[in-house]
Amino acid sequence: MLIAIPDLLSSDQLGEVRGIIDAADWIDGNATSGAQSALAKRNEQLPETSDAAQRAGSIVLDALAASPLFVAAALPLKVFPPLFNRYGEGQGFGTHVDNAIRIRRGSDFRIRSDLSATLFLADPDSYDGGDLVIEGQFGEQQVKLPAGHMILYPASSLHHVTPVTRGTRVASFFWIQSMVRDDGARRILFDLDSAVQSVAGDRGQGDAAVVQLTGVYHNLLRRWADA
């Protein structure tokens, strides 16, 4: 499933992140590429162990933890430390699939990549091209969100970034290992949770139907979660 997380970063958080990363030194984006991606990837990236990436990443991680929508949609077990990239004119990223296992360099931290995330950090009016295109069972979905908004999508999806023709596309990207491995099961849980919250808003959390539906949600989570 594709889930947009609007306003993950506040304007102040967005400004702080951009202030940190815009002043940093960038390197070739293939520093973190697998063999397949290296053939298709043309962009720049912050070194993942750099002070700038870690400081900006901490802001993103705090925002994720404070987002009920992210938690409900991803059911996160582990989050890979956020990375940052930028695409200038003529740069893009051809069709590829993300690696199933992501390992942080120089550490024993690793995750299974169930979900991929792109957090847009540039105003969409400031650049042309640079759309994230995700292939799914219903065809291609083209995504270009306002700065501070994020898209979640299955890491197993084929996807690409169209070439930038004007300006600079700046984003954070990372992966999530969910407590629920199966994308279809996560979709059911997300839809059920959304329905429970809607009914609770009308009837109150103590309503018998709300209590029963909440129990169904947790029993399904208990059945499917690997935590």
Binding residues for Fe cation are 96, 98, 159
> Residue written as tokens 């991606």?
37
What CA–CA distances, in Å, run from 114 to 71, 153, 175, 179, 212? 14, 9, 7, 9, 29
Question: Considering just the CA atoms, what is the radius of gyration of the chain in Å?
Answer: 18
- Which residues neighbour 149 within 8 Å (Cβ) at sequence distance 6 or greater? 4, 5, 6, 7, 8, 119, 120
User: Which residues line the annotated binding site for 2-oxoglutarate?
Assistant: 169
Strands 139-143 and 159-161: unpaired
Beta strands per DSSP E along 6-109: 27-28, 44-45, 76-79, 83-87, 93-96, 101-103
